[in-house]
A and B are shown apart, each in its own frame.
Chain A
Amino acid sequence: MSSVSQYFSGLFTGIRSLMKGMAVTWVELWTKKVTAQYPENRDTLVISDRFRCELIMPHDTNNEHACTACGICVMNCPNGTIKIESEMIETADGKKKKVLKQYTYDLGMCTFCNLCVVTCPSDAIKFDNTFENAIFTRSKLVQTLNREGSKLREKKKETPAPVAE
Protein backbone atom coordinates (compact mmCIF):
# COMPACT_ATOMS: atom_id res chain seq x y z
CA MET A 1 0.00 0.00 0.00
CA SER A 2 2.77 2.38 0.87
CA SER A 3 4.35 1.97 -2.54
CA VAL A 4 1.06 2.83 -4.21
CA SER A 5 0.63 5.98 -2.14
CA GLN A 6 4.26 6.79 -2.83
CA TYR A 7 3.57 6.51 -6.54
CA PHE A 8 0.68 8.93 -6.40
CA SER A 9 2.27 11.37 -4.00
CA GLY A 10 5.36 11.35 -6.21
CA LEU A 11 3.19 12.05 -9.22
CA PHE A 12 1.40 14.96 -7.62
CA THR A 13 4.46 16.55 -6.04
CA GLY A 14 6.10 16.22 -9.43
CA ILE A 15 3.26 18.02 -11.15
CA ARG A 16 3.21 20.71 -8.48
CA SER A 17 6.92 21.38 -8.77
CA LEU A 18 6.67 21.52 -12.55
CA MET A 19 3.87 24.07 -12.26
CA LYS A 20 5.99 26.11 -9.89
CA GLY A 21 8.83 26.07 -12.37
CA MET A 22 6.54 27.23 -15.14
CA ALA A 23 5.21 30.01 -12.93
CA VAL A 24 8.76 31.24 -12.42
CA THR A 25 9.47 31.30 -16.14
CA TRP A 26 6.12 32.97 -16.78
CA VAL A 27 7.14 35.83 -14.51
CA GLU A 28 10.50 35.91 -16.23
CA LEU A 29 8.76 36.32 -19.58
CA TRP A 30 7.44 39.71 -18.56
CA THR A 31 10.49 41.04 -16.76
CA LYS A 32 12.34 43.94 -18.29
CA LYS A 33 14.86 42.89 -20.91
CA VAL A 34 18.40 43.23 -19.70
CA THR A 35 20.19 43.20 -23.03
CA ALA A 36 22.26 46.34 -23.63
CA GLN A 37 21.66 47.67 -27.13
CA TYR A 38 25.16 48.83 -27.81
CA PRO A 39 25.37 51.39 -30.58
CA GLU A 40 22.13 53.03 -29.46
CA ASN A 41 23.07 53.29 -25.81
CA ARG A 42 26.45 54.94 -26.32
CA ASP A 43 25.44 57.95 -24.27
CA THR A 44 24.44 55.98 -21.22
CA LEU A 45 27.01 53.24 -21.55
CA VAL A 46 29.09 52.60 -18.43
CA ILE A 47 32.41 50.90 -18.84
CA SER A 48 34.32 50.01 -15.73
CA ASP A 49 37.36 52.16 -15.05
CA ARG A 50 39.43 49.05 -14.60
CA PHE A 51 38.58 47.76 -18.04
CA ARG A 52 41.77 47.65 -20.10
CA CYS A 53 41.25 48.83 -23.64
CA GLU A 54 44.35 50.63 -24.78
CA LEU A 55 47.51 51.90 -23.27
CA ILE A 56 47.81 55.65 -22.87
CA MET A 57 50.41 57.96 -21.51
CA PRO A 58 48.76 60.78 -19.55
CA HIS A 59 50.03 64.24 -20.33
CA ASP A 60 49.35 67.21 -18.17
CA THR A 61 48.42 70.71 -19.26
CA ASN A 62 52.04 71.65 -19.86
CA ASN A 63 52.30 68.78 -22.33
CA GLU A 64 54.54 66.90 -19.98
CA HIS A 65 54.56 63.21 -19.22
CA ALA A 66 56.27 61.11 -16.58
CA CYS A 67 58.14 58.59 -18.71
CA THR A 68 61.87 58.54 -18.06
CA ALA A 69 62.53 56.17 -20.97
CA CYS A 70 63.94 53.67 -18.53
CA GLY A 71 62.75 50.74 -20.66
CA ILE A 72 61.38 48.65 -17.80
CA CYS A 73 58.00 48.35 -19.45
CA VAL A 74 59.69 47.13 -22.64
CA MET A 75 61.53 44.46 -20.73
CA ASN A 76 58.43 43.33 -18.88
CA CYS A 77 56.14 43.11 -21.85
CA PRO A 78 55.81 39.44 -22.79
CA ASN A 79 54.86 40.24 -26.35
CA GLY A 80 57.30 42.92 -27.42
CA THR A 81 54.43 45.32 -27.81
CA ILE A 82 56.24 48.42 -26.70
CA LYS A 83 59.21 50.01 -28.44
CA ILE A 84 61.06 52.96 -27.02
CA GLU A 85 63.32 55.31 -28.87
CA SER A 86 65.35 57.56 -26.64
CA GLU A 87 68.00 60.15 -27.24
CA MET A 88 70.70 61.81 -25.21
CA ILE A 89 70.30 65.52 -24.75
CA GLU A 90 72.27 68.08 -22.85
CA THR A 91 70.31 69.91 -20.24
CA ALA A 92 70.70 73.60 -19.42
CA ASP A 93 73.10 72.90 -16.58
CA GLY A 94 75.32 70.88 -18.85
CA LYS A 95 74.36 67.38 -17.71
CA LYS A 96 73.75 64.61 -20.19
CA LYS A 97 70.33 63.10 -19.95
CA LYS A 98 68.33 60.38 -21.67
CA VAL A 99 64.90 61.49 -22.78
CA LEU A 100 62.07 59.80 -24.55
CA LYS A 101 61.85 60.40 -28.25
CA GLN A 102 59.15 58.05 -29.33
CA TYR A 103 57.07 55.63 -27.37
CA THR A 104 55.49 53.12 -29.80
CA TYR A 105 52.73 50.86 -28.68
CA ASP A 106 51.24 48.18 -30.95
CA LEU A 107 47.67 47.59 -29.87
CA GLY A 108 47.44 44.54 -32.13
CA MET A 109 50.14 42.73 -30.16
CA CYS A 110 49.00 43.64 -26.69
CA THR A 111 47.35 41.03 -24.51
CA PHE A 112 46.25 43.61 -21.95
CA CYS A 113 48.13 41.86 -19.18
CA ASN A 114 48.85 45.14 -17.42
CA LEU A 115 52.45 44.16 -16.63
CA CYS A 116 53.85 47.31 -18.18
CA VAL A 117 51.64 49.54 -16.08
CA VAL A 118 52.40 47.65 -12.89
CA THR A 119 56.13 47.70 -13.36
CA CYS A 120 56.54 51.26 -14.51
CA PRO A 121 58.43 53.02 -11.70
CA SER A 122 57.17 56.47 -12.66
CA ASP A 123 53.51 55.65 -13.23
CA ALA A 124 53.89 57.10 -16.66
CA ILE A 125 51.44 54.84 -18.44
CA LYS A 126 48.02 53.48 -17.67
CA PHE A 127 45.15 51.72 -19.31
CA ASP A 128 42.18 53.58 -20.62
CA ASN A 129 38.63 52.27 -21.01
CA THR A 130 37.84 53.62 -24.47
CA PHE A 131 36.96 50.35 -26.09
CA GLU A 132 35.99 51.27 -29.64
CA ASN A 133 39.31 50.41 -31.18
CA ALA A 134 38.19 48.70 -34.36
CA ILE A 135 39.82 50.06 -37.52
CA PHE A 136 40.30 48.80 -41.02
CA THR A 137 44.06 48.56 -41.35
CA ARG A 138 46.46 46.91 -39.03
CA SER A 139 49.06 49.59 -39.37
CA LYS A 140 46.77 52.03 -37.60
CA LEU A 141 47.00 49.90 -34.48
CA VAL A 142 50.58 51.01 -34.00
CA GLN A 143 50.35 54.19 -32.00
CA THR A 144 52.79 56.71 -30.69
CA LEU A 145 51.89 57.51 -27.12
CA ASN A 146 54.02 60.52 -26.32
CA ARG A 147 52.69 63.67 -27.84
CA GLU A 148 54.41 65.95 -30.26
CA GLY A 149 56.82 68.20 -28.39
CA SER A 150 56.10 66.71 -25.01
CA LYS A 151 58.83 66.44 -22.46
CA LEU A 152 59.56 64.88 -19.12
CA ARG A 153 57.97 66.47 -16.12
CA GLU A 154 60.51 67.95 -13.75
CA LYS A 155 60.50 66.26 -10.37
CA LYS A 156 61.00 69.28 -8.11
CA LYS A 157 58.46 71.42 -9.78
CA GLU A 158 54.96 71.57 -8.42
CA THR A 159 53.08 69.14 -10.61
CA PRO A 160 49.94 70.48 -12.17
CA ALA A 161 47.03 68.15 -11.91
CA PRO A 162 47.18 65.58 -14.71
CA VAL A 163 44.31 65.70 -17.12
CA ALA A 164 42.77 62.58 -18.34
CA GLU A 165 42.96 62.17 -22.03
Chain B
Amino acid sequence: MILNYSQPLEFSNLSSWLDATLRNNLSEFWTLLIEFVLVGVLLLAAYAVIALVLIYVERKITAFFQARFGPNRVGQYGLLQSLADMIKILLKEIIHINKVDKFLFYAAPFFMVGASMLTFGAIAFGKGLQAVDFNIGVLYVTAVSSLGIIGVLLAGWSSNNKYSMIGAMRSGAQFVSYELSAGFALMTMVVLSGTMQFSEMINQQAYCWNIFNGHISSIIAFFIYLISGHAETNRGPFDLPEAESELTAGYHTEYSGLQFGFFYLAEYLNMFIIASIATAVFLGGWMPIQIKGWEAFNQIMNYIPSYVWFFSKTGVLIFFSLWVRWSFPRLRIDQLLNLEWKYLLPINLVNLLVMVILVLTGLTLTDLFPNWF
Protein backbone atom coordinates (compact mmCIF):
# COMPACT_ATOMS: atom_id res chain seq x y z
CA MET B 1 0.00 0.00 0.00
CA ILE B 2 1.30 3.37 1.04
CA LEU B 3 4.72 2.05 1.95
CA ASN B 4 5.63 1.39 -1.63
CA TYR B 5 5.67 4.99 -2.77
CA SER B 6 8.62 7.28 -2.46
CA GLN B 7 7.97 9.85 0.22
CA PRO B 8 11.05 12.03 0.47
CA LEU B 9 9.47 14.76 2.58
CA GLU B 10 8.10 12.45 5.23
CA PHE B 11 8.88 13.20 8.86
CA SER B 12 9.40 9.53 9.66
CA ASN B 13 12.55 9.59 7.53
CA LEU B 14 14.06 12.15 9.86
CA SER B 15 12.90 10.41 13.01
CA SER B 16 14.13 6.99 11.99
CA TRP B 17 17.46 8.48 10.94
CA LEU B 18 17.73 10.16 14.33
CA ASP B 19 16.80 6.95 16.09
CA ALA B 20 19.42 4.99 14.16
CA THR B 21 22.19 7.50 14.88
CA LEU B 22 21.35 7.61 18.55
CA ARG B 23 21.26 3.86 18.80
CA ASN B 24 24.60 3.53 17.09
CA ASN B 25 26.31 5.96 19.40
CA LEU B 26 24.62 5.53 22.74
CA SER B 27 23.29 2.81 24.96
CA GLU B 28 19.65 1.74 24.94
CA PHE B 29 18.84 3.66 28.11
CA TRP B 30 20.20 6.98 26.90
CA THR B 31 18.62 6.59 23.49
CA LEU B 32 15.23 6.06 25.05
CA LEU B 33 15.71 8.89 27.49
CA ILE B 34 16.73 11.36 24.82
CA GLU B 35 13.90 10.27 22.58
CA PHE B 36 11.30 10.56 25.34
CA VAL B 37 12.49 14.03 26.26
CA LEU B 38 12.55 15.04 22.60
CA VAL B 39 9.02 13.77 22.03
CA GLY B 40 7.80 15.55 25.13
CA VAL B 41 9.42 18.84 24.22
CA LEU B 42 8.21 18.57 20.65
CA LEU B 43 4.65 17.92 21.77
CA LEU B 44 4.64 20.84 24.17
CA ALA B 45 6.13 23.10 21.55
CA ALA B 46 3.59 21.93 19.01
CA TYR B 47 0.86 22.56 21.56
CA ALA B 48 1.91 26.16 22.00
CA VAL B 49 2.62 26.82 18.35
CA ILE B 50 -0.64 25.31 17.16
CA ALA B 51 -2.51 27.39 19.71
CA LEU B 52 -0.84 30.56 18.46
CA VAL B 53 -1.55 29.73 14.85
CA LEU B 54 -5.14 28.85 15.68
CA ILE B 55 -5.72 32.09 17.51
CA TYR B 56 -4.40 34.02 14.54
CA VAL B 57 -6.42 32.02 12.04
CA GLU B 58 -9.55 32.28 14.11
CA ARG B 59 -9.26 36.03 14.41
CA LYS B 60 -8.61 36.41 10.70
CA ILE B 61 -11.48 34.20 9.60
CA THR B 62 -13.83 35.74 12.12
CA ALA B 63 -12.95 39.12 10.71
CA PHE B 64 -13.54 37.94 7.17
CA PHE B 65 -16.96 36.68 8.10
CA GLN B 66 -17.76 40.12 9.42
CA ALA B 67 -16.27 41.92 6.39
CA ARG B 68 -13.36 43.19 8.43
CA PHE B 69 -9.62 42.70 8.02
CA GLY B 70 -8.76 41.29 11.42
CA PRO B 71 -5.30 41.77 12.88
CA ASN B 72 -3.10 43.34 10.20
CA ARG B 73 -0.75 45.71 11.97
CA VAL B 74 1.69 43.58 13.96
CA GLY B 75 3.99 42.13 11.38
CA GLN B 76 3.07 41.43 7.79
CA TYR B 77 -0.68 40.70 7.63
CA GLY B 78 -0.68 40.79 11.44
CA LEU B 79 1.15 37.48 11.58
CA LEU B 80 2.91 38.37 14.80
CA GLN B 81 -0.26 39.45 16.54
CA SER B 82 -0.84 36.31 18.55
CA LEU B 83 2.83 36.15 19.46
CA ALA B 84 2.56 39.65 20.84
CA ASP B 85 -0.58 38.67 22.71
CA MET B 86 1.21 35.69 24.18
CA ILE B 87 4.06 37.84 25.42
CA LYS B 88 1.57 40.22 26.90
CA ILE B 89 -0.32 37.51 28.71
CA LEU B 90 2.92 36.06 30.07
CA LEU B 91 3.89 39.43 31.49
CA LYS B 92 0.52 40.10 33.06
CA GLU B 93 0.10 40.06 36.79
CA ILE B 94 -1.77 37.17 38.31
CA ILE B 95 -4.26 38.80 40.61
CA HIS B 96 -4.63 36.97 43.88
CA ILE B 97 -8.17 36.96 45.10
CA ASN B 98 -8.88 36.80 48.80
CA LYS B 99 -11.97 34.73 49.33
CA VAL B 100 -11.34 31.94 46.85
CA ASP B 101 -10.62 28.36 47.75
CA LYS B 102 -6.92 28.75 47.03
CA PHE B 103 -6.00 25.15 46.34
CA LEU B 104 -8.87 24.44 43.99
CA PHE B 105 -8.60 27.84 42.36
CA TYR B 106 -5.00 27.32 41.38
CA ALA B 107 -5.45 23.64 40.50
CA ALA B 108 -8.36 24.15 38.12
CA PRO B 109 -6.50 25.56 35.08
CA PHE B 110 -4.10 22.65 35.18
CA PHE B 111 -6.95 20.20 34.81
CA MET B 112 -8.04 21.96 31.67
CA VAL B 113 -4.60 22.15 30.13
CA GLY B 114 -3.62 18.71 31.37
CA ALA B 115 -6.67 17.07 29.86
CA SER B 116 -6.19 18.67 26.50
CA MET B 117 -2.47 17.89 26.51
CA LEU B 118 -3.13 14.24 27.31
CA THR B 119 -5.53 14.08 24.41
CA PHE B 120 -3.07 15.90 22.24
CA GLY B 121 -0.54 13.12 22.77
CA ALA B 122 -2.74 10.52 21.11
CA ILE B 123 -3.29 12.44 17.88
CA ALA B 124 -1.67 11.07 14.75
CA PHE B 125 -0.20 14.12 13.06
CA GLY B 126 1.28 12.20 10.22
CA LYS B 127 2.83 8.96 9.20
CA GLY B 128 4.87 7.89 12.21
CA LEU B 129 4.09 11.17 13.91
CA GLN B 130 2.08 9.89 16.82
CA ALA B 131 3.36 9.95 20.38
CA VAL B 132 1.27 7.12 21.83
CA ASP B 133 -0.73 4.69 19.78
CA PHE B 134 -2.98 2.93 22.28
CA ASN B 135 -5.01 0.05 21.02
CA ILE B 136 -7.92 1.79 22.71
CA GLY B 137 -7.16 5.13 21.08
CA VAL B 138 -10.75 6.31 20.67
CA LEU B 139 -11.74 5.33 24.19
CA TYR B 140 -8.60 6.95 25.57
CA VAL B 141 -9.33 10.21 23.80
CA THR B 142 -12.92 10.43 24.97
CA ALA B 143 -11.95 9.42 28.50
CA VAL B 144 -9.10 11.83 28.92
CA SER B 145 -10.81 14.79 27.32
CA SER B 146 -13.63 14.41 29.82
CA LEU B 147 -11.21 15.36 32.60
CA GLY B 148 -11.21 18.95 31.43
CA ILE B 149 -14.73 19.51 32.65
CA ILE B 150 -13.60 18.89 36.21
CA GLY B 151 -11.29 21.85 35.83
CA VAL B 152 -14.21 23.97 34.67
CA LEU B 153 -16.41 22.88 37.56
CA LEU B 154 -13.68 23.46 40.13
CA ALA B 155 -12.81 26.83 38.65
CA GLY B 156 -16.41 27.91 38.81
CA TRP B 157 -16.90 26.75 42.32
CA SER B 158 -13.67 27.91 43.86
CA SER B 159 -13.92 31.42 42.42
CA ASN B 160 -16.59 32.18 45.01
CA ASN B 161 -18.50 34.14 42.43
CA LYS B 162 -22.03 33.52 41.30
CA TYR B 163 -21.30 34.21 37.64
CA SER B 164 -18.51 31.68 37.68
CA MET B 165 -20.63 29.16 39.50
CA ILE B 166 -23.55 29.42 37.09
CA GLY B 167 -21.17 29.36 34.15
CA ALA B 168 -19.54 26.23 35.48
CA MET B 169 -22.87 24.52 36.08
CA ARG B 170 -24.03 25.30 32.57
CA SER B 171 -20.75 24.16 31.17
CA GLY B 172 -20.95 20.94 33.15
CA ALA B 173 -24.48 20.15 32.06
CA GLN B 174 -23.59 20.91 28.48
CA PHE B 175 -20.41 18.90 28.48
CA VAL B 176 -21.90 15.84 30.14
CA SER B 177 -24.79 15.79 27.66
CA TYR B 178 -22.78 16.35 24.53
CA GLU B 179 -20.04 13.96 25.60
CA LEU B 180 -22.68 11.26 25.18
CA SER B 181 -23.42 11.94 21.56
CA ALA B 182 -19.78 12.53 20.72
CA GLY B 183 -19.02 9.15 22.25
CA PHE B 184 -21.84 7.46 20.37
CA ALA B 185 -20.81 9.00 17.08
CA LEU B 186 -17.28 7.72 17.57
CA MET B 187 -18.66 4.36 18.59
CA THR B 188 -20.58 4.18 15.34
CA MET B 189 -17.31 4.53 13.51
CA VAL B 190 -15.63 1.99 15.75
CA VAL B 191 -18.34 -0.44 14.68
CA LEU B 192 -17.54 0.33 11.06
CA SER B 193 -13.79 -0.02 11.31
CA GLY B 194 -13.75 -2.74 13.93
CA THR B 195 -10.88 -1.21 15.86
CA MET B 196 -10.25 1.54 18.35
CA GLN B 197 -6.65 2.07 17.39
CA PHE B 198 -6.07 5.27 15.48
CA SER B 199 -3.20 3.97 13.36
CA GLU B 200 -5.13 0.90 12.26
CA MET B 201 -8.23 2.96 11.61
CA ILE B 202 -6.26 5.33 9.40
CA ASN B 203 -4.57 2.51 7.51
CA GLN B 204 -7.96 1.03 6.69
CA GLN B 205 -8.98 4.28 5.09
CA ALA B 206 -6.25 4.29 2.47
CA TYR B 207 -8.65 4.08 -0.46
CA CYS B 208 -12.00 4.82 1.08
CA TRP B 209 -12.50 7.23 3.90
CA ASN B 210 -14.82 6.10 6.63
CA ILE B 211 -17.22 8.89 5.91
CA PHE B 212 -17.83 7.38 2.45
CA ASN B 213 -17.44 3.81 3.51
CA GLY B 214 -20.48 3.80 5.75
CA HIS B 215 -22.35 6.27 3.51
CA ILE B 216 -25.61 7.48 5.20
CA SER B 217 -24.75 6.30 8.64
CA SER B 218 -21.23 7.68 8.52
CA ILE B 219 -22.32 11.06 7.31
CA ILE B 220 -24.92 11.37 10.04
CA ALA B 221 -22.35 10.31 12.61
CA PHE B 222 -19.88 12.80 11.18
CA PHE B 223 -22.23 15.72 11.55
CA ILE B 224 -23.36 14.64 14.97
CA TYR B 225 -19.75 14.38 16.05
CA LEU B 226 -18.98 17.83 14.72
CA ILE B 227 -21.99 19.35 16.43
CA SER B 228 -21.35 17.74 19.77
CA GLY B 229 -17.63 18.33 19.59
CA HIS B 230 -18.35 21.94 18.86
CA ALA B 231 -20.64 22.07 21.86
CA GLU B 232 -18.07 20.39 24.09
CA THR B 233 -15.56 23.11 23.39
CA ASN B 234 -18.06 25.76 24.49
CA ARG B 235 -17.88 27.61 21.23
CA GLY B 236 -20.10 29.10 18.66
CA PRO B 237 -23.81 28.91 19.24
CA PHE B 238 -23.15 26.78 22.29
CA ASP B 239 -21.06 29.28 24.21
CA LEU B 240 -23.58 30.02 26.89
CA PRO B 241 -21.27 29.05 29.74
CA GLU B 242 -19.38 32.18 28.87
CA ALA B 243 -22.26 34.29 27.64
CA GLU B 244 -20.78 37.72 28.26
CA SER B 245 -24.07 39.52 28.38
CA GLU B 246 -25.36 37.54 31.32
CA LEU B 247 -22.38 35.88 32.98
CA THR B 248 -19.45 38.20 32.22
CA ALA B 249 -16.86 35.56 31.36
CA GLY B 250 -18.50 32.52 32.93
CA TYR B 251 -16.28 30.18 34.85
CA HIS B 252 -13.06 32.07 34.20
CA THR B 253 -14.33 35.45 35.33
CA GLU B 254 -11.93 35.63 38.26
CA TYR B 255 -8.86 34.39 36.45
CA SER B 256 -6.20 36.68 35.17
CA GLY B 257 -2.86 36.56 33.45
CA LEU B 258 -1.37 33.20 32.77
CA GLN B 259 -4.13 31.26 34.46
CA PHE B 260 -6.66 32.77 32.15
CA GLY B 261 -4.20 32.02 29.39
CA PHE B 262 -4.40 28.35 30.30
CA PHE B 263 -8.15 28.29 29.88
CA TYR B 264 -7.86 30.19 26.65
CA LEU B 265 -5.16 27.87 25.34
CA ALA B 266 -7.14 24.79 26.31
CA GLU B 267 -10.21 26.12 24.56
CA TYR B 268 -8.37 26.63 21.30
CA LEU B 269 -6.55 23.35 21.52
CA ASN B 270 -9.79 21.53 22.22
CA MET B 271 -11.12 22.90 18.99
CA PHE B 272 -8.07 21.54 17.23
CA ILE B 273 -8.31 18.20 19.00
CA ILE B 274 -11.96 17.73 18.08
CA ALA B 275 -11.15 18.55 14.47
CA SER B 276 -8.18 16.21 14.38
CA ILE B 277 -10.07 13.31 15.90
CA ALA B 278 -12.81 13.85 13.37
CA THR B 279 -10.11 13.85 10.70
CA ALA B 280 -8.62 10.62 11.93
CA VAL B 281 -11.89 8.82 12.38
CA PHE B 282 -13.90 10.08 9.43
CA LEU B 283 -11.58 11.62 6.88
CA GLY B 284 -8.71 9.18 6.83
CA GLY B 285 -6.32 11.07 9.08
CA TRP B 286 -2.99 11.70 7.40
CA MET B 287 -3.80 9.38 4.48
CA PRO B 288 -3.43 11.11 1.12
CA ILE B 289 -6.28 10.89 -1.34
CA GLN B 290 -5.61 7.68 -3.24
CA ILE B 291 -7.52 5.88 -5.90
CA LYS B 292 -7.14 2.17 -6.27
CA GLY B 293 -5.46 1.18 -9.48
CA TRP B 294 -4.39 4.65 -10.58
CA GLU B 295 -0.73 4.44 -9.69
CA ALA B 296 0.45 7.71 -11.24
CA PHE B 297 -2.09 9.69 -9.28
CA ASN B 298 -1.25 7.93 -6.05
CA GLN B 299 2.42 8.58 -6.67
CA ILE B 300 1.83 12.32 -6.87
CA MET B 301 -0.50 12.36 -3.89
CA ASN B 302 2.00 10.48 -1.79
CA TYR B 303 4.70 12.92 -2.66
CA ILE B 304 2.83 15.46 -0.54
CA PRO B 305 3.91 14.63 3.01
CA SER B 306 1.33 13.13 5.33
CA TYR B 307 1.38 15.92 7.91
CA VAL B 308 0.36 18.36 5.19
CA TRP B 309 -2.63 16.16 4.48
CA PHE B 310 -3.46 15.93 8.15
CA PHE B 311 -3.24 19.64 8.79
CA SER B 312 -5.18 20.59 5.71
CA LYS B 313 -8.02 18.21 6.53
CA THR B 314 -8.06 19.44 10.11
CA GLY B 315 -7.93 23.00 8.85
CA VAL B 316 -11.01 22.47 6.74
CA LEU B 317 -12.89 21.15 9.75
CA ILE B 318 -11.71 24.05 11.90
CA PHE B 319 -12.86 26.44 9.21
CA PHE B 320 -16.20 24.67 9.26
CA SER B 321 -16.48 25.13 13.00
CA LEU B 322 -15.67 28.82 12.70
CA TRP B 323 -18.21 29.16 9.95
CA VAL B 324 -20.85 27.68 12.21
CA ARG B 325 -19.71 29.81 15.07
CA TRP B 326 -20.22 33.06 13.20
CA SER B 327 -23.48 32.04 11.57
CA PHE B 328 -25.79 31.21 14.40
CA PRO B 329 -27.04 33.05 17.45
CA ARG B 330 -26.46 31.66 20.91
CA LEU B 331 -28.85 28.98 22.12
CA ARG B 332 -30.85 29.13 25.31
CA ILE B 333 -30.05 26.46 27.89
CA ASP B 334 -33.32 24.61 27.31
CA GLN B 335 -32.84 24.70 23.54
CA LEU B 336 -29.35 23.39 24.06
CA LEU B 337 -30.50 20.44 26.12
CA ASN B 338 -33.45 19.80 23.79
CA LEU B 339 -31.12 19.58 20.84
CA GLU B 340 -29.02 17.00 22.61
CA TRP B 341 -31.59 14.84 24.33
CA LYS B 342 -34.45 15.05 21.86
CA TYR B 343 -32.58 15.11 18.58
CA LEU B 344 -28.93 14.16 18.62
CA LEU B 345 -29.08 11.29 21.08
CA PRO B 346 -32.08 9.39 19.63
CA ILE B 347 -30.81 9.90 16.09
CA ASN B 348 -27.44 8.69 17.24
CA LEU B 349 -28.81 5.52 18.80
CA VAL B 350 -30.78 4.68 15.67
CA ASN B 351 -27.75 5.52 13.60
CA LEU B 352 -25.59 3.15 15.61
CA LEU B 353 -28.08 0.39 14.95
CA VAL B 354 -28.16 1.22 11.25
CA MET B 355 -24.40 1.06 11.14
CA VAL B 356 -24.37 -2.35 12.81
CA ILE B 357 -26.84 -3.57 10.20
CA LEU B 358 -24.77 -2.07 7.39
CA VAL B 359 -21.64 -3.77 8.61
CA LEU B 360 -23.28 -7.11 9.28
CA THR B 361 -25.14 -7.27 5.98
CA GLY B 362 -22.11 -6.09 4.02
CA LEU B 363 -23.62 -2.89 2.69
CA THR B 364 -20.59 -0.70 3.23
CA LEU B 365 -18.83 0.61 0.14
CA THR B 366 -15.74 -1.52 0.63
CA ASP B 367 -17.96 -4.60 0.84
CA LEU B 368 -20.13 -3.63 -2.10
CA PHE B 369 -17.36 -2.59 -4.48
CA PRO B 370 -14.20 -4.38 -3.36
CA ASN B 371 -12.50 -3.62 -6.67
CA TRP B 372 -12.92 0.12 -6.46
CA PHE B 373 -12.08 0.83 -2.87
Contacts and interface: CB of A to CB of B under 8 A. Distances in A.
B68 A35 contact: yes
Interface stretch (A24-32, A56-64, A121-129): A24-32
Q: Could you say which of B67, B69, B324, B326 has the most chain A C-beta atoms within 10 Å of its C-beta? A: B67
Given A11-B343, A25-B323, A26-B323, A18 B328 contact: yes
B361 to A, nearest CB: 25
A25 B327 contact: yes
Interface string A31-48: 111110100000000000
Contacts of A118: none
B76 interface: no
A21 B68 CA distance: 19
A35 B65 contact: no
A29 B324 contact: no
Contacts of A24: 327
Nearest to B324: A22
B65 A25 contact: yes
Contacts of B66: 28
B58 to A, nearest CB: 14
Contacts of B64: 29, 33
B67 A28 contact: yes
B327 A31 contact: no
Chain B interface helix/strand/loop/mixed: loop
Interface in B297-350: 323-324, 326-328, 343
A33 B69 CA distance: 7
Contact of A28 (B65, B69, B343): B65
Nearest to B66: A28
Interface residues of B, number: 12
B67 A22 contact: no
Interface residues of A, number: 15
B327 A22 contact: yes
Contacts of A18: 327-328
A31 B64 CA distance: 8
A56 to B, nearest CB: 32
A34 B67 contact: yes
Contacts of B68: 33-35
B67 A21 contact: no
A35 B327 contact: no
Contacts of A35: 67-69
B328 A21 contact: yes
A22 B226 CA distance: 15
Interface in A29-88: 29, 31-35, 37
Interface string A146-162: 00000000000000000
B67 A33 contact: yes
A21 B327 contact: yes
Interface in B238-258: none
Nearest to B223: A15
Contact of B69 (A21, A25, A37): A37
A21 B329 CA distance: 10
Contacts of A26: 323
Contacts of B326: 25
Given A33-B64, A35-B67, 9 more contacts: A21-B327, A22-B327, A24-B327, A25-B327, A28-B65, A28-B67, A29-B64, A29-B65, A35-B69
Question: Which 9 residue pairs of A and B lie closest in terms of their CB atoms, listed nearest first?
Answer: A25-B327, A21-B327, A35-B68, A35-B69, A22-B327, A34-B67, A31-B67, A33-B67, A29-B64
Interface of A: 11, 18, 21-22, 24-26, 28-29, 31-35, 37
Interface of B: 64-69, 323-324, 326-328, 343
22 contacts: A18-B327, A18-B328, A21-B328, A22-B323, A22-B327, A25-B65, A25-B327, A28-B66, A28-B67, A29-B64, A29-B65, A29-B323, A31-B67, A32-B67, A33-B64, A33-B68, A34-B67, A34-B68, A35-B67, A35-B68, A35-B69, A37-B69
